[in-house]
Structure 1
Amino acid sequence: MNDTRTALVVGGGIAGPVAAMALAKAGIEATIVEAYPGGADGVGGALGLAPNGINALAVVGVDEAVRAAGQPMVAMVLQSGTGKRLAELRTAPDLPTPQFVNRHDLYRALHDEAERRGVRVSFGKRLTGLHDDGAAVTARFADGTTATADVLVGADGLRSAVRPLIDPAAPGPRNCGLLNVGAAVPDTGLAPTAGAMHMIFGRRAFFGYQVFDDGSGGWFANLPDQRRMTAAQARELGVPHWRNVLHTAFADDRGPALDLVDRTADDDLLLLGATEDLPSVPTWSHGRVVLVGDAAHATSPSSGQGASLAAESAVELARCLRDLPHTEAFAAYETIRRPRVEKIIAMAARTNSAKAAGPVGRVLRDALLPTVMRRFVTPEKTAWRDAYRIDWDTPVSTVAVAA
């Protein structure tokens, strides 16, 4: 039987509102506290929501709101920098169609729905400390206020403030060796890609783009670079610098990369800095405090699974807290989630290596990738990842989890 009636969710990004709505569905009153003084409208680039992520959002009834905020992504077309078509991947017809969505649109859709359901959100609450007395947990904030609940959920992302508070030896993010740049382009000048995301393994860098039915679109570039550059440091170098970098990176590749870069307004160029992940976090919970989403298991964007895994974990955590005392619930949640998320993080790391291949590796990659994709990246072989569903209605038991 559960012992959780209230929850404090630290972090109001993507995982936070999903966790709060899932907890509410489980009969647990959740409040979100966000460090920043206002919302994240207009912040961030685009991301993909995979079928499994949409399945998780459907459990809490927000999948349709998210679909309305995005664009269908019915296929991924992989190409080499020479223009050779390497593979085409399509989602199995019985699964939800992946969505290409701007992060700020996803954020707004989730927050609007959470607020509609009565979830309270407090801004300007930067966490500075925790006190767990065994009966409840109290969060302390920089503004001098406190908040107390039965459990505290750290949904505060890759640079979580909660993670080191429950484990001072917790690892920080790992640099993936790729810089991330992108933009939305109101007028691409290109024909629509019919719902396909095109991904080009270029000679010097990786480029992805999709053009929508109205001629608008979005693109991103992964530039091999070992510098651990923050977004702020990238912006300090200035837009002209990055235009030169992008022109050099894609000068010898076939495809629309240079045209899309040139059609991007200076103010629309997103300089996101180094891509990072968090391969394995040893401690996911302590006492009445638990981590969820990127705070526990951040994958690099190459997986296309970051937001989807966050949604899954938020829903699964709520399901466990619904059915078990918090200590057993946290253990069950980690047992269910850890193997899956760490497998996907490792797969994304291998993709990062392919994007940053040198001259010899590039030739081998382009030669072998079509065969690899045909044999190993089929709907049947990827069903464990893409067709994943959380069985909300089945009670969680420690016996079943241990088995």
Structure 2
Amino acid sequence: MGRSLAVAHQSSSPPSPPPLNIIILGGGIAGLTTALSLTKFAPTGDTPPRITIYEVRPEPATIGGAVNLTPNALRLLSHLGALDEIRSRNYGKECDAVEVFDIHSNTKLAESSFRGPDGKGLGTPPFKAIRITRGESLKGVLAVIEKHPNIQLICGKKTTSIHEDANSVTLTFESGDTATADILIGCDGIHSVTRLKHVEPSRKGTYSGICNAFGFAPRRKDATTADGFEPVHFETSAMNFSRRGMLLTSFHDTAKESIYVGGLMQVPEIASRDGWKAAGADAEKTRKDMLDRFADGASNPLIKHLIEDAQDLYLWPVFTLSNGGKWATDRVMLIGDSAHAMPPQGEATGIVFEDGVLFSRCLARWMLKRSELLQSGGAVPPVKEAFDAYEKLRRGRIEVAFGESQSVVKTVNETGWLGHWIKTCVVPWYLWWSRGYREKHFVEDVTSCEINC
């Protein structure tokens, strides 16, 4: 009798909510790390959300330049399990500081350090930085994705339309098939289909006026040096300022056998997308332009050698979005460059990782609230509550980063000798003045900070 009553009482309890069904559009670093964050921060006891990532390319894009993963970015990758994968594969080169040089005199002007007060890094636990190719960082994250059965990555799917109603979001693909989920997260970059076809079609990317010309140069041999290679003027990474742009030179592997070469420079706008593709593919024209801008006035012969030897040289136009804009509808959220693409400012990758973590924590709070209300028979609040909480938490930081990115653009603008001299005086002062702010951000851990949502 007592057992029957217990069974009857048990069967009358409200069922647990079904796992949230989430679609992420974009299989780049933003989409993949957001999927990991959604899984990592799902409420304890709940079934992890079912996440499907759709990527337009036939396979994840593991080509591109090299990025600097700052201490806050490494901290988040560590939380998500990707840093262990990157280190176990010996990807990237640890970076103590980004040094700043005047390319014309080869004088070191300043540096942005990640060493911390005791030389071990910034934050708790301490991290420095890692200069790594985009491809290797993506491979490290993909290795973690494969360990989570709730995450599925499907490539070669081009979205043609997005339909949203009160209960779901449905994507229609070029192949004619569809996919439906509870929410859609757009992590599909500056030319986001999620934004342009649904969230805010009028908000298009605009050309910033600058391009990134990048490639990888194998180091020249030199029998007179201890390591057998041509000497360099930097420890790991250097920003070399010239009158006609800025040239980044950096190791990106522990063997230090190759140097990443990336030039930020003003380039006249090309009207069509096909025109940009043609310009990007013309490696020799890009090489000549870089030699004219950076090598002719350089006092260090290494600069010319690196540009001459750079392989897979490519010209990439930098497009941006206007500050602000619409990030969400009732069931669709934009993350990363799809919401706030900006010119390079040294922390872009870390900002994208933070986006995914903070959004996941806000959504997890909503999921927990949903579960509790379902158990008590209450009405479930709309998921837009989590979207609004995330925006309230995040927009201030993005506005500050946007302002910083505009300062970077100014340092890249072409100038005369007087303007360049002023720049070489201002840059060290600016790095000294902003050091406290940068380090405060580098030690931040958005996995545990108060989110008040």
TM-score, normalising length: structure 1: 0.90
Distance 1:393 1:306, change over 3 A: closer
| 8 Å CA contact retained: 1:294, 1:306 | no
Query: Residue 181 of structure 2: which of 109, 125, 149 is its match?
Result: 149
How far apart are residue 3 of structure 1 and its match? Answer: 8.8
Gaps of 5+ in 2: 1-15, 43-47, 221-228, 367-381
Query: Residue 353 of structure 2: which of 308, 311, 325 is its match?
Result: 311
Partner Cα distance (2:237, 2:449) in 1: 35
How far apart are residue 175 of structure 1 and its match? Answer: 2.1
How far apart are residue 344 of structure 1 and its match? Answer: 1.0
Partner Cα distance (2:39, 2:425) in 1: 50
Distance 1:16 1:217, change over 3 A: same
Distance 1:192 1:79, change over 3 A: closer
Q: How does 1:44-63 map to 2 (within 5 A)?
A: 44-63=64-83
SS for the counterpart of 1:381 is: helix
Query: Residue 141 of structure 2: which of 110, 135, 154 is its match?
Result: 110
Q: Indicate yes or no: 2:290 matched with 1:246.
A: yes
How far apart are residue 317 of structure 1 and its match? Answer: 1.1
1:382 alignment partner in structure 2: 438
TM-score, normalising length: structure 2: 0.80
| 8 Å CA contact retained: 2:110, 2:431 | yes
Gaps of 5+ in 1: none
| 8 Å CA contact retained: 1:7, 1:149 | yes
Q: For the pair shown, which has the larger CA radius of gyration, 1 or 2?
A: 2
SS for the counterpart of 2:146 is: helix
Distance 1:309 1:3, change over 3 A: farther
Q: How does 1:192-231 map to 2 (within 5 A)?
A: 195-211=235-251, 213-228=255-270, 231=276
Partner Cα distance (1:12, 1:63) in 2: 19
Partner Cα distance (1:248, 1:98) in 2: 32
Q: How does 1:2-17 map to 2 (within 5 A)?
A: 5-17=20-32
Deviates more, 1:361-370 or 1:131-140: 361-370
| 8 Å CA contact retained: 1:187, 1:217 | yes
Q: How does 1:204-353 map to 2 (within 5 A)?
A: 204-211=244-251, 213-228=255-270, 231-235=276-280, 238-250=282-294, 251-255=296-300, 256-265=302-311, 268-272=312-316, 274-301=317-344, 303-324=345-366, 325-353=382-410
Identity of aligned residues (%): 25
Q: CA RMSD in A?
A: 2.3
The size of the alignment, in residue pairs, is: 389
SS for the counterpart of 1:388 is: coil
How far apart are residue 300 of structure 1 and its match? Answer: 1.6
| 8 Å CA contact retained: 1:180, 1:275 | yes
2:113 alignment partner in structure 1: 90
1:173 alignment partner in structure 2: 205
Query: Over residues 188-232 of structure 1, what are the superposed CA-to-partner deviations in whole Å (9 max), with x where a residue is unaligned?
Result: 443366753111111222111023543322111112223247551
| 8 Å CA contact retained: 1:52, 1:308 | yes
Query: Over residues 162-209 of structure 1, what are the superposed CA-to-partner deviations in whole Å (9 max), with x where a residue is unaligned?
Result: 012333444222322212111122324433667531111112221110
Q: Indicate yes or no: 2:230 matched with 1:190.
A: yes
| 8 Å CA contact retained: 1:171, 1:281 | no
Query: Over residues 41-69 of structure 1, what are the superposed CA-to-partner deviations in whole Å (9 max), with x where a residue is unaligned?
Result: 3x211111111112222332222223442
